[in-house]
Structure 1
Amino acid sequence: MIRPLLLFFLFWATIPICIAQESTASKQVSTFTIAAPQLGTAKKIWLYLPLDYAKTTKKYPVIYMHDAQNLFDAKTSFVGEWNIDEKLDSLKAQVIIVGIEHGNENRLAELTPFKNEKYGGGKGDLYLDFIVNTLKPQIDATYRTKPDKKHTGIMGSSLGGLTSFYATLQYPAVFGKAGVFSPSFWINRNAIFELAENTKKMQTKYYFLCGDSEGDEDMVRDLNKMEYLINTKRCYCLNLNRKVIVKGGQHNEKLWRDGFVKAILWLGY
């Protein structure tokens, strides 16, 4: 059963809390807009470049992330940002982050792979087509990236966690790593588990994270079930999965903000 608080977050996490708030994004963060013909719209993209990007000729791995409004800037975030830029600066991290803004009232549609009988949605394939065939080619052409799957990751929370996991099944040759935070498997539960079951090979490196107090009593159960299913496809001895269940962790930005650094370090960034 999905509790009201979790439903509120899924459907209304599109409204920025920005009253009397100044921007907190660092100078390493910039934005641009790109046409998204697959979705019949344009997307605002937030880009983080490493501290040494302008001083070197190195190429960098890339992580594509959803809900960009919540990643870098308290002014645009829904009840708090992830502080990704500050965290990466402190680590002197060698990674480029590409954040894709959610579609506001279209967020649910874009971040669900399959249509839910009650809540609708189901435009996840179009959204991922945009990332893989429109956005990624421009990023790789414009910036010094390592474009191969070994150096290309995808990460998100809630519906973004669901979509990130789905992306690895649909585009295994593109995404070699995934951060899957509090994935909303429930909204497409039968379809996503069936797809995973029918996927013969899984080579993606996964970092799973959720709290045990997220408002959805099936969250931990679903994550355990998915991890078990993945381990039937490959030996757990390969150390390609990590699952973290935070005691008292709730379905919110704090859980994901606090888990971000450990996730990217374990994934190898």
Structure 2
Amino acid sequence: MIMKPLLKFIFILFSLQLTSQTADIENVTTFTIEVPQLETTKKIWLYLPTNYSKSEKAYPVIYMHDAQNLFDAESSYAGEWKIDEYLNGLNERESIIVGIEHGNEKRIEELTPYKNATYGGGQGKAYIEFIKNNLKPKIDSTYNTLPDASNTTIFGSSLGGLVSFYAAMKYPETFGKAGVFSPAFWINPEIFTFVRSIELPGTTKLYFLAGTDEGENMLPKMEAMIHLLKSKGLKDEQLEQRIIEGGQHNEQLWASNFGTAYQWLYD
């Protein structure tokens, strides 16, 4: 069973009601977009590199979940990832970041590929198809992007880590890289059966991260998935695993390790 503090964190996070607001942060703007797959709309937080308006270059794109927690401490549940501050300090390997707000009380529903008998969910495939078929085409047609899979990353933590991993496995021709932080594999054990049934692409890059204090299931489930991926032929250069001693299931763990994961994925 999952430990109570972790379960409490997940439920508080997805049930948190946030007021829609315009980001007042350097390089970050917001817009809304229809999500026909889920019969809703989503607020999108968009980060553009510092010199974007003066440059003619095209940029990789990272699609990230739980956008409320990425750029702004005021909209976050328990601290921001400081994505914009980190990227503003780079002189190379710059990227466009597309943050997708979570659905508050519908967070579990949207970020789980399979329905859980206790917690519900199961709309993760529809959510990823929205990113693939609606959001990504809008971003690629509006901004100077490198649209190929090798320059398209999907990144998240907890349920966001689960659905990011699922996206990279389900649509490797679209999402060539994934940041998989503290993946909630426990809620959808079907993901193991799915991975056993597919051919793993030879170019996908996956960065896994978890802390030792995230509950009794976190590390065993993540390590079991990594073992499965390796048994199916995933090469060492396609996979990075980092375990943080004392790391807990929170924004501090994820924020403090984003930069390391970013550099490895784009190495």
Give the TM-score normalised by structure 2: 0.95
Q: Provide the residue aligned with 1:9 in structure 2.
A: 9
Work out the CA distance in 2 between the residues paired with 1:202 and 1:188: 22
Structure 2 contact 34–42 (Cα < 8 Å) conserved: yes
Q: Provide the residue aligned with 1:232 in structure 2.
A: 231
Tell me if 1:85 matches 2:84: yes
Structure 1 contact 38–127 (Cα < 8 Å) conserved: yes
Tell me if 1:258 matches 2:256: yes
Report 1:199-218 matches (<5 A).
Answer: 199-203=198-202, 204-214=204-214, 216-218=215-217
Q: Which one is further off, 87-96 or 61-70? A: 87-96
Following superposition, which runs of at least 4 residues in structure 1 exceed 6 angstroms of deviation? none
Work out the CA distance in 2 between the residues paired with 1:235 and 1:209: 17
Q: Provide the residue aligned with 1:164 in structure 2.
A: 164
Q: Secondary structure at the match of 1:109?
A: helix
Spell out, residue by residue over 1:27-46, the C-alpha distance to the aligned partner (whole angstroms, 9 max, x if none).
Answer: 11000001111111110000
Cα 1:228–1:40 shift into 2, 3 Å: same
Q: Provide the residue aligned with 1:38 in structure 2.
A: 37
Q: Provide the residue aligned with 2:266 in structure 1.
A: 268
Per the TM alignment, residue 24 of structure 1 is displaced from its structure 2 partner at its CA by 8.3
Work out the CA distance in 2 between the residues paired with 1:59 and 1:23: 26
Spell out, residue by residue over 1:56-110, the C-alpha distance to the aligned partner (whole angstroms, 9 max, x if none).
Answer: 1100000000000000001110011100000111123510000000011111100
Work out the CA distance in 1 between the residues paired with 2:218 and 2:18: 27
User: Which letter does structure 1 place at the counterpart of 2:184?
Assistant: S
Q: Provide the residue aligned with 1:112 in structure 2.
A: 112
Q: Provide the residue aligned with 2:197 in structure 1.
A: 198
Cα 1:222–1:101 shift into 2, 3 Å: same
Per the TM alignment, residue 201 of structure 1 is displaced from its structure 2 partner at its CA by 2.0
Work out the CA distance in 2 between the residues paired with 1:63 and 1:24: 18
Q: Provide the residue aligned with 2:67 in structure 1.
A: 68
Work out the CA distance in 2 between the residues paired with 1:116 and 1:198: 20
Work out the CA distance in 2 between the residues paired with 1:199 and 1:117: 25
Spell out, residue by residue over 1:120-159, the C-alpha distance to the aligned partner (whole angstroms, 9 max, x if none).
Answer: 0000011011100000000000000000001000000000
Per the TM alignment, residue 12 of structure 1 is displaced from its structure 2 partner at its CA by 1.3
Cα 1:75–1:178 shift into 2, 3 Å: same
Q: Provide the residue aligned with 1:27 in structure 2.
A: 26
Q: Secondary structure at the match of 1:212?
A: strand
Report 1:135-150 matches (<5 A).
Answer: 135-150=135-150
Work out the CA distance in 2 between the residues paired with 1:235 and 1:166: 16
Cα 1:101–1:235 shift into 2, 3 Å: closer
Q: Secondary structure at the match of 1:30?
A: strand
Q: Provide the residue aligned with 2:177 in structure 1.
A: 177
Structure 1 contact 65–98 (Cα < 8 Å) conserved: yes
Q: Secondary structure at the match of 2:88?
A: helix
User: Which letter does structure 2 place at the counterpart of 1:221?
Assistant: P
Give the TM-score normalised by structure 1: 0.94
User: Which letter does structure 1 place at the counterpart of 2:109?
Assistant: A
Spell out, residue by residue over 1:161-195, the C-alpha distance to the aligned partner (whole angstroms, 9 max, x if none).
Answer: 00000001111100110000000000001x10000
Per the TM alignment, residue 202 of structure 1 is displaced from its structure 2 partner at its CA by 3.3
Work out the CA distance in 2 between the residues paired with 1:23 and 1:135: 19
User: Which letter does structure 2 place at the counterpart of 1:209?
Assistant: L
Q: Which one is further off, 23-32 or 81-90? A: 23-32
User: Which letter does structure 2 place at the counterpart of 1:245?
Assistant: I
Q: Provide the residue aligned with 1:133 in structure 2.
A: 133
Cα 1:23–1:134 shift into 2, 3 Å: closer
User: Which letter does structure 1 place at the counterpart of 2:77?
Assistant: F
Q: Provide the residue aligned with 2:245 in structure 1.
A: 247
| C-alpha RMSD over aligned residues | 1.7
Work out the CA distance in 2 between the residues paired with 1:24 and 1:40: 24
Structure 2 contact 169–200 (Cα < 8 Å) conserved: no
